[in-house]
Amino acid sequence: MTQIALGWKSKSMARWRAIGGVPVLTLVLILAIVLGTAIGATNISPLYTAQIILNATHLVHIPQQWDAVDSIIILQLRLPRVLGAALIGAALGASGTLFQGLLRNPLADPLLLGTSSGAALGVTIVFLSPSLFVISWAGFSLAALMAFIGALVAVALVYRLATRRGQTPVVTLLLAGVAVSAILTAFQTLLVSLSTRLGLRLNDLYGWISGNVAVGTWQQVGVLTTLVALGLVAAIAVAPILDAFALGEEMAAYVGVRVEAAKLGIVILAALLVAAAVAGSGLVGFVGLVAPHLCRMAFGPRHRLLLPTAALAGAIFVVLADLIARSIVAPAELPLGVVTALVGGPFFIWLLGRAGTAYRW
């Protein structure tokens, strides 16, 4: 009887989670965004913050009870950054899920296949020539654009190297990723150590690489939103293919998946999402590794549900981490990557311990 009752309970729990996951996480994300926007150099009441944001949507009109400056601070200064953080987190969460599913590796991280070192090399090249700093596009600095390009080029290189006769074995992909990362990092270190001109900007470069939300304008938010939204929609569309990949590539082919085409498509999607995140914030580790794991613990392994929830969880995580990074030693800022690792790491370890053997790969 107990067995049956437990079975029923866990089954209904699973159903509830499947239905409730996305709405609940969306709600939490909205609250995190409001909180992140409200807290800063001058604290603004979260209630007012919410009202200001609601008014800005033009869907409702709430009589103004707040200082007009607050409205400008919220809408022009803070909200773009917080939304940028959310988009970066969503991109990292989704791309981490894509990579873990594709590579069938629990350690897979969005920065794995050369993306981090490619982006870092790209940024270093920009930092070497100060004259390039004037160039920007859609609010993104040349450094951000070079990070985007560097990440994509690195993944393309890794994929090309790992492909033989139309086949790209996952293990080769991982090994090529490690090798290309090492080579690109070596190049970057070489550039830094040979350059006499880097000087004081070395700190800036290091700060950039260790990650900070560098999204400050609505134009940037628009570009990121387009990229991330397209990437997410496409990722959710191909999600069941990742489920099939869990059976192994051979079995995936037997159930009707065009394995090589699917692999290439998923790598392109994941690389675009990572590149978007890297362009927006530099190298923020840990989010893309942890968000998929957390959501798999909570919602199970099916990628149709895992991808949107991991994206939402990543968004919540980065919004809150960014809030901590810029408020804990205000007016200075901590690198975002440091906060995600220092806060996220212990939390993840605690969760793993709590889940114990119940968290099954």
Partner 1 sequence: MMQPYQSATTDDPLALECVELRYHYAVGSRADASAALRGVNLRVAAGEMVGLLGPNGAGKSTLIKVITGTLAAREGVARLWGDEVRRLPREEIARRAAVVPQDFTVQFAYTVRQVVGLGRMAHTGALHIPRKADHAAIAAALVATNLTDFADRVYNELSGGERQRVLVALALAQHARLILLDEPTAHLDIHHQIAVLELLRTLNREQGLTIVAALHDLNLAARFFPRLVLLDRTVIADGPPTTVLDAALISRVYATPVRVGILRGEAHLSVLPPGERAPDLTPSTPVAHIIAGGGAGELLMRALADAGLGFTAGPLNIGDSDQVLAERLGATCLLEPPFAPVSPAGLAAARELIRRSGRVIIAPIALGHGNVALLEIALMALHEGAAVWILLDADQADTTGEAREDAMQSALAARDFSGKGLAGYQALIAAGARIAAQPGEIVAALTLE
Rounded distance between C-alpha atoms, residue 241 and residue 301, angstroms:
13
Give the shortest CB-274-to-partner 1 separation in angstroms.
Answer: 21
Query: Which amino acid is residue 299, in one-letter code?
Result: F
Running DSSP on this structure, what letter comes out for residue 131?
Answer: G
Decide: 57 and 345 in contact? Cβ < 8 Å: no
Q: Which residues 219-238 are close enough to bind partner 1 by CB under 8 A?
A: 237
Task: Check binding of 256 to partner 1 (CB under 8 A).
Answer: yes
Nearer to partner 1, 10 or 64 (CB): 10
Decide: 335 and 208 in contact? Cβ < 8 Å: no
Rounded distance between C-alpha atoms, residue 126 and residue 142, angstroms:
7
Task: Check binding of 263 to partner 1 (CB under 8 A).
Answer: no
Task: Check binding of 13 to partner 1 (CB under 8 A).
Answer: no
Task: Check binding of 257 to partner 1 (CB under 8 A).
Answer: yes
Decide: 236 and 99 in contact? Cβ < 8 Å: no
Among the listed residues 1, 58, 63, 361, the single contact to partner 1 using CB under 8 A: 361
Nearer to partner 1, 160 or 258 (CB): 258
Q: Which stretch binds partner 1 (CB under 8 A): 59-67, 248-256, 270-278, 283-291?
A: 248-256
| Cα distance between the two ends of the chain | 29
Dihedrals φ, ψ of 313, to 5°? -65, -40
Q: Which stretch binds partner 1 (CB under 8 A): 132-140, 178-186, 193-201, 250-258?
A: 250-258
Give the shortest CB-93-to-partner 1 separation in angstroms.
Answer: 16
Report in angstroms the alpha-carbon separations of 66 from 35, 38, 50, 70, 146.
17, 13, 12, 7, 41
Residue 296's closest CA among 351, 245, 224? 351
Rounded distance between C-alpha atoms, residue 311 and residue 55, angstroms:
26
Among the listed residues 6, 9, 11, 347, the single contact to partner 1 using CB under 8 A: 11
Q: Which stretch binds partner 1 (CB under 8 A): 27-35, 198-206, 252-260, 272-280?
A: 252-260
Among the listed residues 255, 328, 329, 352, the single contact to partner 1 using CB under 8 A: 255
Nearer to partner 1, 16 or 137 (CB): 16
Neighbours of 207 (CB within 10 A): 14
Nearer to partner 1, 104 or 201 (CB): 104
The count of residues interacting with partner 1 (CB under 8 A) is 30
Q: Which residues 265-324 are close enough to bind partner 1 by CB under 8 A?
A: 296, 300-302
Q: Which residues 94-133 are close enough to bind partner 1 by CB under 8 A?
A: 104
Rounded distance between C-alpha atoms, residue 314 and residue 309, angstroms:
8
Q: Which residues pair with 141 in a beta bridge?
A: 136
Six-digit token string for 187: 């190049």
Report in angstroms the alpha-carbon separations of 76 from 60, 79, 297.
19, 7, 38
DSSP string, 317-330: HHHHHHHHHHHTTT
Q: Which stretch binds partner 1 (CB under 8 A): 5-13, 43-51, 109-117, 136-144?
A: 5-13
Among the listed residues 20, 248, 345, 346, the single contact to partner 1 using CB under 8 A: 248
Give the shortest CB-257-to-partner 1 separation in angstroms.
Answer: 6
Give the shortest CB-265-to-partner 1 separation in angstroms.
Answer: 12
Task: Check binding of 7 to partner 1 (CB under 8 A).
Answer: yes
Binding site for partner 1 (CB under 8 A): 7, 10-11, 14, 104, 237, 239-241, 243-248, 250-251, 253-258, 296, 300-302, 359-361
